[in-house]
Amino acid sequence: MLVTAKGLQGLKYFKVLGPLLERLHEHGTQRDRAGNRRLHFDQYACLLLLFFYNPIITSLRGIQQASLLARVQKLLGCKRAALGSLSEASRVFDAEALQPIIAELAAQALPMSQGKEVEALRGLTAVDGSFLLALPRMAWALFQDENNRAVKMHVHFDVLKGVPCGVSVTTAIDPEQDQLRAKLQPGRLYVIDRGYAVYQLFQDILDGQSSFVGRVRNDAAFKMLHERPLTAAAHAAGVLRDCQVQLGAASQRKVLRMPVRLVWVGTGKLQADGTPEILVLATNRFDLDAELVALAYKYRWSVELFFRWLKCTLGCRHLLANSQNGVTMQVYLAIIASLLISLWVGKKPTKRTFEMLQFYFTGWATEAELLAHLDKLYDQPD
């Protein structure tokens, strides 16, 4: 599709990105001693954000075509970007320079609800990884064999704010546990699936001044210390048992040094063999009611919904670069794009709201219609 000035509305919103991205302007210019660089990091970042927000732009060539437009050049302060410059940018600019911007935007988000549950689960952070399929020529993206390549994005999702608060990108075979360990922050309540059920990781989370709710194997070894009584609220939430234990076999108990809780929760579903599905959840939070432990793990699904939003709605599945740094930069900018939508809207973004934003950016909706749509969101429960 031809990218024209008429099809690009709402560019004024990119003015507010100037102060946010200006710190990137001189980044990567050290190698350009002659001062001939025509495309700077902040300009490249804005062009990629335009790719995410505007359905007219669907490829690197579309981004290049948008850079020909006088309005784009004026607002972004850039000249025409050749395809070679865009390709070089994915290798020259360091993707990790975007991490402070992600952290800054995530910190600006506010909890979307209030109440005792929110206060009890303060800092609830769902962590998981998701694949992005890569091209066979991307030899660095190791996966199954030379014809199957993939990368993995590892996301920390602040459940109560409804925004991502941390991300890293690795090859598909890199261990998820190592990525969580490398990005541990204090004051978090990490909710993690069975793939993270490594006792040393549990201890590392505790040593990092945070807490965890994680699923463990149903046949996990433990030493019973105390059976905790169940309340009516716990029974209503499907909790079957709540115990204080020393987790692990005798040889492993030196790894996870403190006692933890095991909470058995029925899902109401049947497994393939016809037996009820039961989740066994481990946590160090003895202060939480058992039903809140179950609720915390239920919220883990929010990171899976975010992956669906990022790949299917925001369009992060279509990779614009072949290098690892270029793919990482695209994922980080997709995270920034999502964070900006959340901050502009004041709620967790939905497909309908994103469509309205795209209608506005392509000139099909007026600013008044966009604002009217956003006003209606505030009257709807989260």
Q: For 114-170, write each residue's pLDDT tens digit.
A: 888 889 999 999 999 999 998 888 888 878 777 788 999 999 999 999 999 999 999
Q: Where are the domains of the chain?
A: 1-93, 95-193+300-346, 350-382
Find how far residue 81's CA is from the centre of its chain.
29
Q: What values do phi and psi take at 331, rounded to 5?
A: -65, -45
Residues 112, 347 contacting (CB under 8 angstroms):
yes
Full strand arrangement of the beta sheet holding 163-171:
163-171, 149-158, 124-134, 189-192, 211-216, 276-283, 260-270, 239-247, 222-227
Closest CA relative to residue 123, chosen from 286, 284, 296, 301:
296
pLDDT in tens, 184-221: 999 999 999 999 999 999 999 999 999 999 999 999 99
Where are any strands of DSSP class E within 117-258? 124-134, 149-158, 163-171, 189-192, 211-216, 222-227, 239-247
Closest CA to 262 of 237, 280, 249: 280
Q: What pLDDT shows up at residue 30? A: 59
Mean pLDDT value of segment 356-378: 82
pLDDT surpassing 60 at residue 174: yes
Query: By C-alpha distance, which of 337, 322, 335 is closest to 153?
Result: 335
Question: Rounded to 5, what percent of the chain is helix, strand, coil?
Answer: 45, 20, 35
Non-local CB neighbours of 345 within 8 Å, separated by 6+ positions: 353, 374, 377
Q: Could you report the per-residue pLDDT of 274-326, keeping only the tens digit for each?
A: 999 999 999 999 999 999 999 999 999 999 999 999 999 998 888 999 999 99
Whether the pLDDT of residue 70 is over 60: the answer is yes
pLDDT bracket for residue 336 (50, 70, 90): very high
pLDDT at 36: 54
Q: Is residue 190 a contact partner of residue 205, using CB atoms and an 8 Å limit?
A: yes
- 327: closest CA among 98, 110, 90, 103? 90
Give the pTM.
0.90
Instruction: Give me the pLDDT at residue 380, please.
Output: 65
Average pLDDT over the chain, rounded to whole? 88
User: pLDDT band at 377, cuts 50/70/90?
Assistant: confident
What's the angle, vertex CA 262, arms to CA 279 and CA 257, rounded to 5? Answer: 135
Model confidence pLDDT, tens digit, residues 6-58: 444 544 555 567 778 888 888 876 555 444 557 889 999 989 988 998 888 88
- Among 52, 63, 73, 81, which residue's Cα sits nearest to residue 3? 63
Q: Output the CA–CA distances (angstroms, integers) from residue 38 to 43, 50, 72, 78, 97, in the order listed.
A: 10, 19, 14, 7, 19
Residue 312: both structure tokens together: 């299917």
